[in-house]
Amino acid sequence: MRERMRIFLGRALLLLAGYFAGSHHTTVAYAGAPAPGVVPKSYGRLVTAIPDSIGTGLIFED
């Protein structure tokens, strides 16, 4: 019974420590100035660019 109490209290302590030590603010990333680039003609005509959290998606058409 005491062993279970110790495990429970240890977990509760770790949970509270993680909560108070965690980051409580959001990080905002601002995009830099657009840079000109060259797209090979074999890709087709660049229609649009869609920015998202993992990069920029490019849409081409033939």
- Residues 6-50: tens digit of each pLDDT: 999 999 999 988 888 876 666 667 777 777 777 777 788 888 888
pLDDT confidence of residue 23: 64
Say how many CA atoms lie within 13 Å of 23 toward its Cβ.
3
* Residue type present at position 48: T
Where in the chain does DSSP place strands (E)? 45-52, 55-61
> Residue ranges per domain, the chain?
1-26
Distances (CA, A) of 39 to 1, 42, 43, 57: 69, 8, 7, 13
Residue 59 has pLDDT above 90, yes or no: no
Task: Please give the Cα distance from 37 to 57 (Å, whole number).
Answer: 14
pLDDT of residue 58: 82
Output the pLDDT for position 26: 66
